[in-house]
Amino acid sequence: MNHKLFPLLLVAGLVAAGCTLTPKYARPAAPVPAAWPAAVADPGGPVATNATAASAALPATVSGLSWREFFADDKLCQVIGMALTNNRDLRIAVLNVEQARALYGIQRAGLFPVLNGTGEWLRERVPADVSMTGNPLTANEYTANLGAASWEIDFFGRIRSLKQEALAQYFASEQARRNAQISLISAVAQAYLALAADRENLKLSETTLETQRASFELIRRQHELGLVTDLDLYRARTPRDTARRDMVSFREQVAQEQNALNLLAGSAVPDEWLPTTLDAVHPPREIEPGLASAVLLGRPDILQSEDSLKAANADIGAARAAFFPRITLTAAFGSASTDLSRLFSPGQGAWNYAPQIVMPIFDARTWSAHRASKVQREIAVAQYEKAIQSAFREVADALAVRANVEQQLAAQQSLVDAFTKSYRLASSRYEKGIDSYLNVLDAQRSLFAAQQGLVSLQLAKQANQSRLYAVLGGGGEVEPAPLQARK
Burial of 120 (0-12, 13-18, 19+ CB in 10 A): exposed
Q: Using CA atoms, how far apart are residues 47 and 26, in angstroms rounded to an integer?
A: 38
Q: Per-residue b/e over 377-399, b at no fewer than 16 CB within 10 Å?
A: beebbeebbebbeebbebbbebb
**pTM to 2 decimals?**
0.79
Residue among 147, 140, 124, 115 at smallest CA distance from 343: 140
Task: Quote the Cα angle for 65-67-73, to 5°.
Answer: 120
**Portion of the chain with pLDDT greater than 70, in percent:** 88
Say yes or no: domain 24-111+156-324+372-471 is CATH 1.20.1600.10.
yes
CA distance 146 to 148: 7
Render pLDDT for 235-285 as a digit per residue (tens, 0 to 9).
778 878 888 888 999 999 999 999 999 999 999 999 999 999 888 899 988
DSSP one-letter string for 406-459:
HHHHHHHHHHHHHHHHHHHHHHHHHHTTSS-HHHHHHHHHHHHHHHHHHHHHHH
Let me know how many helices (H) and strands (E) the chain has, helices first. 10, 8
Phi, psi of 474 (to 5 degrees): 70, 180
359 near 156, Cβ under 8 Å? no
More confidently predicted of 262 and 142: 262
Per-domain residue ranges for the chain?
24-111+156-324+372-471
> Which one, of 233, 300, 222, 279, lies nearest residue 470 by Cα?
300
Residue-wise pLDDT for 368-424, tens only, equals 888 999 999 999 999 999 999 999 999 999 988 988 999 999 999 999 999 899 988
Residue 203 burial by CB count (10 A; 0-12/13-18/19+): exposed, middle or buried?
middle
Cβ-proximal residues to 214 (8 Å cutoff; 6+ apart), any chain: none
pLDDT at 213 exceeding the cut of 70? yes
Nearest to 269 by CA among 62, 4, 80, 485: 80
